[in-house]
Structure 1
């Protein structure tokens, strides 16, 4: 198998739910040995209890047998080793310290301050291993606090970030993004920060704390679009299917579905006019220049709607493509994840049950292709505690007697 960029690196995974586990999933896909530490008293990662569940006979709304695995865990647990360890017990924290001595990275997404209260925060990890890179993902950052009740879930972060007031039409109620963007963006920054800190540790021998907030990650991206300038200029922040500073640009109904069209430049706009068999519009003062098209966007977009709505979607796209205009159909999610090129590049892959094999269900792959290195998620998610003896006996050299004693104490 082709070597992977993070081969030989060990990551201790204290995460649960989505934001943290997605970060460690990416690290696992890049080759790191990810040891998922799960609380036996709580039944492990909370996502193990997410419906639906993968069964031998297909997905089901409720778990009926011990082998049934949440589809969430089926996706997020791949390429990871699961051990059980009760960090609330002193012996559990001793085992954690032993693991840190053999690790390069720790990732956690507890609420701010929780890891320190448990005795497994950055200071404790640094005492065990000064080179450790300790990555925290939280709602508002390591300092804690935050608006509202201070409790961070994706919908709360979406609400506080302002993104709910960017989708939809002016005057509409807030629009919650169907994709949990706060939970998925923060781990991307966490992985970037983790890899940068590992490079620093390799160069200097010095570990550090990497601190990423969900609110900061999402709001930082929001600020890439000049919404404050829009407000000053009197432009709406909420634009629905259009973008107020670009025309023609947006979503348009065809006879049998919707299309996305992006034609803001003069060349693209002329292509739109030609596709509509209205080349004369290129000489119309209202639409001849970029600024005038933006000024008269409502009128221009209404003309495009009237044209596209009378044609099948495929025909609209064919005509636009024939004149070099960027355009595409608006897909349903189930159709999008089955895109042939996405599947061929293994950016989306079939999920495999550890007992039953291929499930027919799809989940994220590693959407990065290297010219030399390998990457991918090719091992199924583990059952709770499946690798406890392997990791503690193999990596740490614990004897069978010591493992039995820890189990009897409820540590494992």
Structure 2
């Protein structure tokens, strides 16, 4: 590989996804250099995120679409480095075109409800018949086997079922929805890991296969990193609130001008906290001398830290704790966090641009948070208009002529 090239260059991905979980997976593959062909339904206006407010256009940012040229910020972020082709896969002619594309592809990614792709005739079995080396990634709420009822799931449904909503918040308080759509974002990470593993398998002489990732499974698997069932059996708190008693001192503490996050569960870090408070003798106090004793007296310990932090600014608190080698940071608002110089310099957050008008307002979106010592990665092409590359792909990849394309369009297949 030549230095500066993207590692997945030359790989062709057929992107059947919509909304967030699937499009984020294919965004990552696109950022790593794959040619991602986004297949959208012309009858429904394409990816559902094309209709997510807010919108960016010639006049800047607005809460509703003012003209046909305005594009959803969601799709501007999620469709970068992708090509868009329209296919109405409910029509047999469109399905035939799709299966021709599969012959030229390496990877298919879909996030339909379980069973939908098979009913359309574009599932894993249909695809492997035309290309045995195809890697077919399915991201769904509950897995390819389906689930009771509709089997459909949104992020909030998965958060509710996973138990995550009862990990945050004070004990006995209402369940708390995590502000980020964590299920929609975790499942595609596992899907990409699975896809890349399957790519290696094919390169080593193996066959193509289906990569099946469940949103519920991904989120619940991570939840189980913490032994919540053991905590419950021992009578330990399972909800953390702003402090985490079983790791005291640990949590969020009020400052005179905001909040500070403090993580000091070890003896060394705890001693640093006591020095910052001006009470180094607490390190020898029988209540706080060891980790277990600090946990047993967490309420008293955290109350003393509250009293101290409330008298100082976040800047003062972080500086005093850093001087003692204690991990601490101000609690930022999201808008402040995404303009951090470090993540900007590393390209982990970037400015988004309208494909026609450029950056008519400052709007941020995800970069590719992976840096290679030799390879390139990231996004250098704007999101496409719906169906922008249909004719080009049919001509160059499948060899269709203008008459064939016109006939497909006339019949409603495109």
Superposed CA deviations along residues 45-71 of structure 1, whole A, max 9, x for unmatched, are 000011111111211111121111000
| Count of aligned pairs | 411
Distance 2:42 2:283 in 1: 68
Instruction: Show the counterpart of 1:226.
Output: 227
Is residue 2:324 matched to residue 1:330?
A: no
Superposed CA deviations along residues 199-258 of structure 1, whole A, max 9, x for unmatched, are 111112410010000000000000000101100100111120122321111100000000
Distance 1:322 1:205 in 2: 55
SS in 2 for 1:396: coil
Distance 2:319 2:345 in 1: 24
List 4+ stretches of structure 1 deviating above 2 A.
148-151
Distance 1:178 1:187 in 2: 18
Distance 1:259 1:4 in 2: 39
Distance 1:196 1:67 in 2: 39
Instruction: Show the counterpart of 1:356.
Output: 357
Is residue 2:360 matched to residue 1:379?
A: no
Superposed CA deviations along residues 142-192 of structure 1, whole A, max 9, x for unmatched, are 00015x764300000000000000000111111001100000000000000
Is residue 2:208 matched to residue 1:207?
A: yes
Residue pairs, 1:90-169, within 5 angstroms: 90-146=92-148, 150-169=151-170
Residue pairs, 1:6-405, within 5 angstroms: 6-146=8-148, 150-358=151-359, 359-405=361-407
Distance 2:133 2:152 in 1: 31
Distance 1:33 1:239 in 2: 43
Distance 1:386 1:113 in 2: 29
Distance 1:145 1:61 in 2: 36
SS in 2 for 1:204: coil
CA RMSD across the alignment = 1.0
User: Would you say the 8 A contact 2:249–2:264 is kept in 1?
Assistant: yes
User: Would you say the 8 A contact 2:8–2:34 is kept in 1?
Assistant: yes
Q: CA deviation at 1:333?
A: 0.2
Distance 1:262 1:236 in 2: 18
Distance 1:244 1:20 in 2: 37
Instruction: Show the counterpart of 2:408.
Output: 406
User: Would you say the 8 A contact 2:114–2:151 is kept in 1?
Assistant: no
SS in 2 for 1:236: coil
SS in 2 for 1:261: strand
With the length of structure 1 as denominator, give the TM-score of the two structures: 0.98
Distance 2:125 2:267 in 1: 58
Distance 1:247 1:75 in 2: 40
Distance 2:322 2:350 in 1: 30
SS in 1 for 2:247: coil
User: Would you say the 8 A contact 2:85–2:388 is kept in 1?
Assistant: yes
Instruction: Show the counterpart of 1:4.
Output: 6
Distance 1:154 1:44 in 2: 21
Distance 2:267 2:275 in 1: 12
Superposed CA deviations along residues 308-338 of structure 1, whole A, max 9, x for unmatched, are 0011111011111111110000000000000
Distance 2:237 2:60 in 1: 46
SS in 2 for 1:353: coil
Distance 1:36 1:190 in 2: 17
Distance 2:162 2:380 in 1: 35
User: Would you say the 8 A contact 2:245–2:299 is kept in 1?
Assistant: no
Distance 2:378 2:270 in 1: 41
Distance 2:173 2:332 in 1: 23
Distance 2:396 2:180 in 1: 40
Listed as ranges, the gaps of 5+ residues in structure 1 are: none
